[in-house]
């Protein structure tokens, strides 16, 4: 989890119990929407980096083979 995610959860924890039920529900929904967006960004970043590391591993493997020959 990133620091930003942790701060959002801390703020949610502070606000729960302070406001009425409707306020708490809206705060939970806003936090859920934010975390859903963060999750989508993390998945996209994972896919991008996954391809990069696969290609990097292949290149390093080929370089080792060439050095051994």
Say whether pLDDT at 57 is over 90.
yes
pTM value > 0.75: no
DSSP 12: H
Q: Could you report the per-residue pLDDT of 4-33, keeping only the tens digit for each?
A: 888 888 888 888 878 788 888 988 999 899
pLDDT of residue 24: 87
Q: How far apart are CA 58 and CA 19, in angstroms?
A: 55
Across the chain, mean pLDDT equals 88
| Cβ burial, residue 38 (10 Å; 0-12/13-18/19+) | middle
Whether 40 shows a pLDDT value over 80: the answer reads: yes
Check residue 11 and give its pLDDT: 85
**Residue boundaries of the structural domains of the chain:** 3-68
């Amino acid at each position: 989890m990133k620091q930003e995610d942790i701060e959002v959860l801390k703020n949610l924890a502070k606000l729960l119990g302070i406001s009425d039920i409707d306020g708490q529900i809206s705060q939970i929904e806003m936090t859920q929407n934010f975390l859903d967006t963060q999750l989508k960004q993390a998945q996209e970043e994972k896919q991008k980096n996954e391809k990069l590391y696969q290609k990097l591993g292949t290149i390093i493997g080929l370089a080792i083979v060439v050095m051994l020959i």
